[in-house]
Structure 1
Amino acid sequence: MLKQCLTAALLMFALASSAMAQDNSTFRVTLLGTGTPNPNPDRFGPSTLVQAGNLNLLFDAGRGNTIRLWQLKVPLGSLDEVFLTHYHSDHVNGLADLWMTGWLPPVYAGRKQPFNITGPTGLQALTDGLVSAFENNAKVRIADEKLPPEANRFNVTEFDEQVGGVVYEKNGVRVTAFSNLHGDLIHPSVGYRIDYQGKSVVISGDTRKSKTVVEHSRGVDLLIHEVAAARPELLEALQRLQPIMNHHTTPQEAGEVFSEARPKMAAFTHFVLLANKDYPPMTPAETETATRETYDGPLAMGQDLMAFDLSGDKVRVIPWNSDR
């Protein structure tokens, strides 16, 4: 039995090491979660992994990001930086899990250094609150399991959303933050652009149609954008849903963004597809059809664990295959 356990552990370690193998040519983006607050097992909370060179960068930490990372055999402790777009619960409710579970010693975790995190104003308050909430857990694990205290600490980089600019630069990777338009009362809220070896990807964050998203996305290799859709009959029957739509981008509006920015590849994430018992959600196919009213370029309907390889001349879309 012990021999079997050791063999399994060594196999997991080999798989993890293989998945982590990255070189200077690596530029890969994986949609870890493409969903919303809805507890949908097919679409986990918003989260995107960007692997550039030897760096692993995570953008937003929605529900289930730890599970998706380990499905990729990316140890939680191997993340170099986490970036948050804003502080709605569905974008941060997986942060505590990522922070605390990543501190554990098994192969799926193993963080030995402080948890590096970057975000707009309010991030320090958020991380201070987590430290307070998990104080007893930390004390027990340090005393009982001898976990390294320094790896339990947050290393916070906080910036003003109205200023934005370059918020991270390391090993040839540059991350630029910019404000977007999530709503009049929803501040701070930002998107990010990641540049590496002449290639670029933009993550819109939650937003209505935004000029700043277009400006930072012109000619990028990959533009990952949120989308919200609802059947007209549903909005007419439940007018209380309209404010939700007002905080997001319709397929037609997203198509206009794509047409103006002209990325090599556009992709949807964070599918806000409203519904009730009488009116089902719009399907991805219907969402794509609506987008095609205003956009005729390359478009990927994002799914959890769908990946994009930016290392070549063209953006290669890699659907998830659990056997790989």
Structure 2
Amino acid sequence: MIEVTLLGTGSPIPDPDRAGPATLIRAGGQTFLVDCGRGVQQRLAAVGSGANALSALLLTHLHSDHIADLGDVIITRWVTTFTEQIPLQIIGPPGTKRVVEATLEAFGPDIGYRIAHHADLTAPPPVEVHEYTEGLVWDHDGVRTVVGPTDHRPVEPTIGFRIEHHGASVVVAGDTVPCAGLDALAAGAGALVHTVIRKDLVEQLPMQRIRDICDYHSSVEEAAATAARAGVGILILTHYVPAIAAGQEDEWRARAATEFDRQIELGSDLHRVEVHPGVCAKSRS
């Protein structure tokens, strides 16, 4: 079984009820955080986890809303680990190393203060960064993770992740329009976690800068069509733009159902879905 938790279902627009984009994947005793939007540490605490429990941090792309708390994750893991300091594995697209290095430099004064103050902190936070655009990126104790290209241009390269464990599989797409790379990555998966926007609502807004997001994100219907083409068992929607208004969940679900006739999941932060081998799933909020 793989457990998916929507830690943060928000967007670049600050929302008092939704943290920034972040998805927690638990499989085979391993814990993966996909993206680290604002507020991710509080959401991790809410599900009984934390930065020091992560097997790896997976980044779909380097847009600010998806990496806003990168520094917080790195530093918090460092200062809350009281055993051997094992490097945080960070897997992302090309450009990730530069962003991580710049983040550590920005936190340089803080790191220096803590090393000077605590005798058991003798070196900066250990991290290992791996950059990929496709292929196998993780294979440990029965859990495999494969990367595939997505399309969020002009943001490029961008990637999605497929996590597999004993016949169960989950794909986390990140921001993308429909594309062959995601179709291939998601083919036959148990679940697809996909970011979505309501283009019908966004296109009515007077600000061109906001309307611009329509050309490099998938609508609810487009995400559902991707899930249908790939033959996935469950479609899990997240990163809602605009935020889903109270009582409107069924309307969003109905839009997805015009293209995808299987299980559709959406909800608030901390919504969880259990993905079992085949197409069986159980949701919990």
Superposed, 1:127-138 pairs within 5 Å as: 127-138=100-111
CA distance in 1, matches of 2:175, 2:142: 27
Superposed, 1:146-185 pairs within 5 Å as: 146-150=119-123, 152-159=125-132, 161=133, 164-183=134-153, 185=154
Q: Is the 8 A contact 1:113 1:151 kept in 2?
A: no
CA distance in 1, matches of 2:268, 2:15: 12
Deviates more, 1:258-267 or 1:63-72: 258-267
Counterpart check, 1:302 vs 2:267: yes
Whichever residue aligns with residue 142 of structure 2, its letter is G
Which position in structure 1 is the counterpart of 2:35? Answer: 60
CA distance change for structure 1 residues 137 and 239 in 2, over 3 Å: closer, same or farther? closer
CA distance in 2, matches of 1:68, 1:236: 30
Give 1:68 deviation, angstroms.
0.7
Whichever residue aligns with residue 157 of structure 1, its letter is H
Give 1:75 deviation, angstroms.
3.0
Q: Is the 8 A contact 2:190 2:233 kept in 1?
A: yes
Structure with more contact order per residue of length (Cα contacts < 8 Å, sep ≥ 6): 2
CA distance change for structure 1 residues 221 and 111 in 2, over 3 Å: closer, same or farther? farther
Which of the pair is proportionally richer in strand?
2
Superposed, 1:27-66 pairs within 5 Å as: 27-66=2-41
* Runs of at least 5 residues in structure 1 that lack an aligned partner in the other structure: 1-25, 320-324
Give 1:282 deviation, angstroms.
10
Q: Is the 8 A contact 1:50 1:58 kept in 2?
A: yes
Give 1:127 deviation, angstroms.
1.1
CA distance in 1, matches of 2:284, 2:243: 27
- Percent of matched pairs sharing the same residue: 30
Per-residue deviation, residues 28-84 of structure 1 (Å, max 9, x unmatched): 111111111121132111111111112111111111111111111113211111010
Q: Is the 8 A contact 1:112 1:151 kept in 2?
A: no
Which position in structure 2 is the counterpart of 1:200? Answer: 169
Q: Is the 8 A contact 2:145 2:164 kept in 1?
A: yes
CA distance change for structure 1 residues 192 and 258 in 2, over 3 Å: closer, same or farther? same
User: Over the residues paired in the alignment, what is the CA RMSD in angstroms?
Assistant: 2.4
CA distance in 1, matches of 2:182, 2:169: 13
CA distance in 2, matches of 1:44, 1:236: 23
CA distance in 2, matches of 1:199, 1:274: 30
Per-residue deviation, residues 170-211 of structure 1 (Å, max 9, x unmatched): 11111111111112x211211111111111000011001122
CA distance in 2, matches of 1:98, 1:152: 11
Q: Is the 8 A contact 1:181 1:209 kept in 2?
A: yes
Which position in structure 2 is the counterpart of 1:213? Answer: 182
CA distance change for structure 1 residues 82 and 120 in 2, over 3 Å: closer, same or farther? same
Give 1:213 deviation, angstroms.
1.6
Superposed, 1:206-285 pairs within 5 Å as: 206-231=175-200, 234-235=203-204, 237-273=206-242, 283-285=248-250
Whichever residue aligns with residue 85 of structure 1, its letter is T
CA distance change for structure 1 residues 246 and 65 in 2, over 3 Å: closer, same or farther? same
Q: Is the 8 A contact 1:76 1:110 kept in 2?
A: no
Number of equivalences: 284
Per-residue deviation, residues 105-156 of structure 1 (Å, max 9, x unmatched): 48xx978322221111111111111121111111111120234345612211
Q: Is the 8 A contact 2:202 2:242 kept in 1?
A: no
Q: Is the 8 A contact 1:65 1:94 kept in 2?
A: yes
Whichever residue aligns with residue 317 of structure 1, its letter is S
Give 1:242 deviation, angstroms.
3.0
Q: Highest CA radius of gyration, 1 or 2?
A: 1
Secondary structure of 1:207 counterpart: coil
Which position in structure 1 is the counterpart of 2:92? Answer: 119
Per-residue deviation, residues 292-311 of structure 1 (Å, max 9, x unmatched): 22222210113211112224
Q: Is the 8 A contact 1:34 1:304 kept in 2?
A: yes
Which position in structure 2 is the counterpart of 1:100? Answer: 75
